[in-house]
Chains A and B, each alone.
Chain A
Amino acid sequence: MAPKTEYAVIGGTETKVDGLEKVTGRTRYADDLSFPNMLYGRFLRSPHAHARIKNIDVSKAAAMPGVHCILTGKDFPIPFGPLPISEDEHVLAIDKAIYVGEPVVAIAASDEATADAACRAVVVDYEELESYMTLEEALAQKGEAIHPDHRGGNVHKEVPLEIGDVEQGFAEAEYLREDVFYYEGNTHMPIEEHACIGVPEGIDKVTLYSSTQNPHYGHRLLGKVLGLSPSRIRVVATPVGGGFGGKCDTFSHEFSACRMALLTGRPVKFTLTREEVFYTHRGRHPVLMWSKIGFKRNGKITAMYFKSFLDGGACGSLGVASTYYTGALQPCSYKIPHYKFEGVRLFTNKPVCGPKRGHGTPQPRTVMETQLDKTAVDLGIDPATLRLINAVEPYSKTVNHFRITSCGLKECIEKVVEASDFRNKWGKLPHGKGIGFAASVYMSGAGVPQYWNNGPHSEVTVKVGRFGEVQCLTGSTDIGQGSMMVHASIVAEVLGLHTRDIMVLNGDTATTPIDLGSYSSRVTFMSGNAALQAARRMRDQIAGVVAESFGVTADRIEFREYKVFNADNPEQSMDWPDACALTESKLGAQSSSGNYTPPDLAGPYKGGTVGPSPAYTFTALAVQVDVDPETGMIKIEKVWCAHDIGFPINHTLVIGQVEGGIYMGLSEALLEEMVYRKNRLKAPSLLDYKTITVAEMPEIETHLICTNDPEGPFGAKEAGQGPLLPAIPALLNAVYDAVGVRIDEVPCSPDKVLFAMEEKAEGGAGRYGPKAFLEHKMTSKPVRAPRPAEWENGNEGRMS
């Protein structure tokens, strides 16, 4: 049920502005666009995981009729990466290929089949090198490093951090546990395969239409890599047919399409095949983790020491951030007095890992929440109560210096306990049936941009025309989360209009102001605030003019139901278009802008910029399962979820995000994995990369907890990523409750459950998972930081 509000639009259940266009098949995604005289681009990709490129002979391909442009690595000498600190990627492999599927040659031809045939006619002479397909191999590094110029060899990044004194914390503990856990990598698998079209404009400009989440970052990187002034490049984000983080980076096909369009003077389209989408990846990192956690007998956490090894794939991408994220949010859901974290990211010869929904946090969240479950059993405290004992509080500082404002964690936990009847079920269901609990925290947008700059993170322009037409211009992109509706709702609410009166124009670097992009659950909070400011400024402009004509002060003017009123005399009103026309006649063309820059919330230590967010959401979740004791097959029966949304801009959209996040979490918990055999991805297809379908999807009962965030637009916080997180550990905890075994590995496939049950029956521990953590001596200087002042004198972080 949507909450009752004083608002006309906000918190409601109106159909999203682009809803009908999507259900009628009218939405034009990138591959649906075509231009006269268009060429088609294809890549020849590396068949080797690690190989020196000795020669590339394109002569046969170049001679083929219909072939118009052939590019190789030397045509793109400038390396790049989304983060300026790891610019280690090339559009096309130079000198050596570093994973199977890496683009090596790009060819544009009059049709796709010709481009494909031409790729097959290229002869590349490779010399295979020692390849590194696992963490162990990468660390041992028996041959040439994947990036020979990188200082750490195959060690891409080390993060050593200690806040407080964990040894002291462990000394105070009355119960200690250590666990090792492995979380396999997985991928976004958007149903839309990546596509883009580079279209030459005039003689020296290019427009890129692309299925991208982040046109602004793409704009920046295209300028850098193509060596073009940004004024010659326009990036238009087409409606994105599924992102989940997979369309955040700027990709080889985008650079190539632009360069080829400029070279040939013709539009060039690239549409990846499904297999190529798997190679493009940037998905969830495989992470091996070790965690030690201390408790008092009453369940209070005394300290945590967490170590992670990330298998990064062949390039940096956003992996430095991913590494920090595996250690950033543990102290944000539960009060941890002393905290130590060591994260290491390694390069391997596999497709590049990066940000997938939850970015670096589902893996440690899964470890921590299963550890809490094990602790609950050992200490004889029920899992929900154990979480309540440690839950962070509103308006507090975490031990790693992150500012918590609104926080409904305890309410979420209590709501799920009540809705699921958790305490009457946990430990009490018949053998084979079980219920599991978990909670989590996520950010409403990252506190710092991907490249350093002082500009706003979000800018929005609102324009009002003579007939009362309203345009809301935002650089954000709609990837299905409903950002167009969020903008329309905010502007409509402020101006007293219906969302259908607002035309939202988005994701176009030439016509819309800057927004950093649709990632990090930032759009509702950040761009929403910018839209709110822009709409209020527009309202004030119009109110001033109308007030004058009414002979009242501007603060008496109200906007409702397509009318502008005198609040003290509602008879005195003006239709919205008349108010717009009047304002224009007095003041000229009407536009207003709004900006949002998050407050500086960085922790006072190196790496303290990764994790701070202007607001955090909290989620609690319970999963009930039925495990077949003979097969280990898991049937998910029901999920209960409570999510602290702050306040929903649109109730329908929020429920959709919660359900979609839970689905994705359950799917990775049960099935999803990027598995390699020797150097090759085992299952680069939709049939073989298993995701749960409608047949496996359980009933979900969602409760929204409204904590009205003081800084969010209308109190809103994120919904897109948080609810995924607890689904995974809750499922593993439910399996334990059902059949008494611990699966310390994701995905939790039936063979693992069965083998753990067999081990238990034979008197073993009843556990499936990695036996040991990797030995590695950090070369980076340890970063030590004091605890925040709010933690002194036993205050546990509460802000005064």
Chain B
Amino acid sequence: MLRLPEFEYAAPTTVAEATRLLHERGTKAMLLAGGTDLIPNLKRRQFRPELVVALHKVEALRGIQERSGRLVIGPLATLAEVAAHPAIRSQYPALANAAAMIGTPQLRNQGTLGGNLFLNTRCSFYNQLEEWRNSDGSCLKAEGGKCQVAPGGKRCWAVSSSDTAPVLAALGAELRLVRHDDERMVPVAALYRDDGINYLAVQPGEMLTEVLLPVAGTWDRTAFLKLRRRGTFDFPILNVAGAVKFGAGNVVERISVMLGAVGSTPMAIDAQKLFAGKPLDNAAATAALQTQAGKRATPLPNTDASHVWRKRMVRVYTARILKELAT
């Protein structure tokens, strides 16, 4: 049976206590929320933390509530809770759908929204047991060595595989990040960096305490599409999220489209410039958006399915998200 490595364990009850532990132990400490990402990664020895800081006793990180017209989601809200929440389903169906399509029912009962936003980037050379990785020189992201996907280059191409990140980025949601001695708000899109190893733009010792959705009515429609080969279990091999606000005459006033799982970071496609003042079914704008998306996406052979096909699917799914937003 695969087992966890030994680690010290702490279960703080407050954010202050948790951030203090992070501050004191630095990179040797890791946070445990639902564990659906961290536990398999630990079993595969992708990390070897000295201390695991379990967050389940921090009540302040739970729950979904309305505050000043905004929905505020605690990062420990499970994906099942996000998927089922009536206000999220009515105001931001794309988020509920994305959460509902992650993993399996058991994983959604266990996994959290915060965990999905911080989901470790994935790569079929990296998400392997230690012996497998080390049998041919390991990889940049694990023990170092060379990138097995693009051996010539210096960067890591592990894939951003979160389903909620593109949605929250498209919606313009914000995150509250707290450190032992300060805190800040960042837009979700600013959480990520295009680097498979250092994929999060967070400061040492920072933790997520709140996910703030935009005020109701910011968007008229939101949509989410996920490409995977099976209707369950699978991580995305491409996802697309979109949000639109219509102006008078049913033309686009504001639009936001994000691509996920075709690079190390969720990617914004500049739909606003192409669609502002035009109807969503504008053929020239659609074609231009498809071209742009196709250029941005960098699928490589480190996930399920052929990367050439995934690249082709970027165009198809870009057109489809517009249709979803229109209906």
Instruction: List A residues 95-137 near B (Cβ within 8 Å).
Output: 100, 112-113
Chain A, interface SS category? loop
With known contacts A100-B135, A112-B1, A680-B132, A690–B229 Cβ distance under 8 A: yes
Chain B, interface SS category? loop
- In the bound complex, what is the Cα–Cα distance between A685 and B127 (angstroms)? 10
With known contacts A679-B136, A684-B132, A271–B1 Cβ distance under 8 A: yes
B135, B234, B308, B313: most-surrounded residue (chain A CB, <10 A): B135
Q: Judge whether A630 and B316 touch: CB under 8 Å.
A: yes
Instruction: List B residues 277-315 near A (Cβ within 8 Å).
Output: 304-306, 308-309, 312-313
Residue ID in chain B nearest A671 by CB atoms: B229
Would you call B124 an interface residue if the criterion is a C-beta within 8 Å of the partner chain's C-beta atoms? yes
Q: Judge whether A688 and B304 touch: CB under 8 Å.
A: yes
Q: Judge whether B135 and A680 touch: CB under 8 Å.
A: yes
Q: Judge whether B131 and A45 touch: CB under 8 Å.
A: yes
B134, B230, B305, B316: most-surrounded residue (chain A CB, <10 A): B230
Q: Judge whether B3 and A112 touch: CB under 8 Å.
A: yes
Instruction: List A residues 590-644 near B (Cβ within 8 Å).
Output: 630-633
Q: Judge whether B2 and A47 touch: CB under 8 Å.
A: no
Count A-B pairs with CB separation below 8 Å.
Answer: 72
Residue ID in chain A nearest B3 by CB atoms: A113
Instruction: List B residues 124-145 near A (Cβ within 8 Å).
Output: 124, 127-129, 131-132, 134-136
Which residue of A47, A631, A690 contacts B304 across the interface (Cβ within 8 Å)? A690
Min C-beta distance of B137 to chain A, whole Å: 10
Would you call A692 an interface residue if the criterion is a C-beta within 8 Å of the partner chain's C-beta atoms? yes
Would you call B250 an interface residue if the criterion is a C-beta within 8 Å of the partner chain's C-beta atoms? no
Would you call B233 an interface residue if the criterion is a C-beta within 8 Å of the partner chain's C-beta atoms? yes
Specify which chain B residues have a CB less than 8 angstroms from the CB of A690 in the assembled complex.
229-230, 234, 304
With known contacts A45-B131, A48-B135, A696-B231, A631–B308 Cβ distance under 8 A: no
Q: Judge whether A693 and B231 touch: CB under 8 Å.
A: yes
Specify which chain A residues have a CB less than 8 angstroms from the CB of B198 in the assembled complex.
none
Min C-beta distance of B150 to chain A, whole Å: 13
Specify which chain B residues have a CB less than 8 angstroms from the CB of A630 in the assembled complex.
316
Specify which chain B residues have a CB less than 8 angstroms from the CB of A15 in the assembled complex.
none
Specify which chain A residues have a CB less than 8 angstroms from the CB of B308 in the assembled complex.
751
With known contacts A112-B3, A630-B316, A754-B309, A692–B135 Cβ distance under 8 A: no
- In the bound complex, what is the Cα–Cα distance between A359 and B172 (angstroms)? 55
With known contacts A47-B131, A112-B3, A680–B136 Cβ distance under 8 A: yes
Would you call B65 an interface residue if the criterion is a C-beta within 8 Å of the partner chain's C-beta atoms? no
- In the bound complex, what is the Cα–Cα distance between A134 and B227 (angstroms)? 31
Would you call B27 an interface residue if the criterion is a C-beta within 8 Å of the partner chain's C-beta atoms? no
> C-beta contact mask, A266-291 vs B, less than 8 Å → 1, else 0?
00000101110000000000000000
Would you call A678 an interface residue if the criterion is a C-beta within 8 Å of the partner chain's C-beta atoms? yes
- In the bound complex, what is the Cα–Cα distance between A631 and B226 (angstroms)? 13
Instruction: List B residues 24-82 near A (Cβ within 8 Å).
Output: none
Specify which chain A residues have a CB less than 8 angstroms from the CB of B231 in the assembled complex.
693, 695-696
With known contacts A632-B309, A695-B232, A696-B230, A275–B129 Cβ distance under 8 A: yes
Q: Judge whether A693 and B232 touch: CB under 8 Å.
A: yes
Min C-beta distance of B136 to chain A, whole Å: 6
Min C-beta distance of B227 to chain A, whole Å: 8
Specify which chain B residues have a CB less than 8 angstroms from the CB of A631 in the assembled complex.
227, 313, 316
Specify which chain B residues have a CB less than 8 angstroms from the CB of A633 in the assembled complex.
229
- In the bound complex, what is the Cα–Cα distance between A632 and B310 (angstroms)? 11
- In the bound complex, what is the Cα–Cα distance between A696 and B231 (angstroms)? 7
Instruction: List B residues 232-251 near A (Cβ within 8 Å).
Output: 232-235
- In the bound complex, what is the Cα–Cα distance between A690 and B233 (angstroms)? 10
Residue ID in chain B nearest A683 by CB atoms: B124
Residue ID in chain A nearest B230 by CB atoms: A693
> C-beta contact mask, A668-697 vs B, less than 8 Å → 1, else 0?
000100000011101111011010111110
Specify which chain A residues have a CB less than 8 angstroms from the CB of B135 in the assembled complex.
47-48, 100, 679-680
Q: Judge whether B134 and A47 touch: CB under 8 Å.
A: yes
Min C-beta distance of A451 to chain B, whole Å: 35
Specify which chain B residues have a CB less than 8 angstroms from the CB of A750 in the assembled complex.
229, 305, 309
Q: Judge whether A695 and B230 touch: CB under 8 Å.
A: yes
Which residue of B2, B230, B305 contacts A273 across the interface (Cβ within 8 Å)? B2
- In the bound complex, what is the Cα–Cα distance between A502 and B134 (angstroms)? 53
Residue ID in chain B nearest A758 by CB atoms: B312
Would you call A749 an interface residue if the criterion is a C-beta within 8 Å of the partner chain's C-beta atoms? yes
Min C-beta distance of B158 to chain A, whole Å: 15
Min C-beta distance of A697 to chain B, whole Å: 10
Min C-beta distance of B2 to chain A, whole Å: 6
Specify which chain A residues have a CB less than 8 angstroms from the CB of B229 in the assembled complex.
633, 671, 690, 749-750
Specify which chain B residues have a CB less than 8 angstroms from the CB of A751 in the assembled complex.
305-306, 308-309
Residue ID in chain B nearest A750 by CB atoms: B309
Residue ID in chain A nearest B103 by CB atoms: A687
16 inter-chain pairs at a CB distance below 8 angstroms, sorted by A residue, are: A48-B135, A112-B3, A273-B129, A630-B316, A631-B313, A671-B229, A678-B136, A680-B132, A683-B124, A684-B132, A685-B127, A687-B234, A688-B124, A690-B304, A696-B230, A749-B306
7 shortest interchain CB distances as A-B pairs: A695-B231, A47-B135, A751-B309, A751-B306, A695-B232, A630-B316, A693-B232
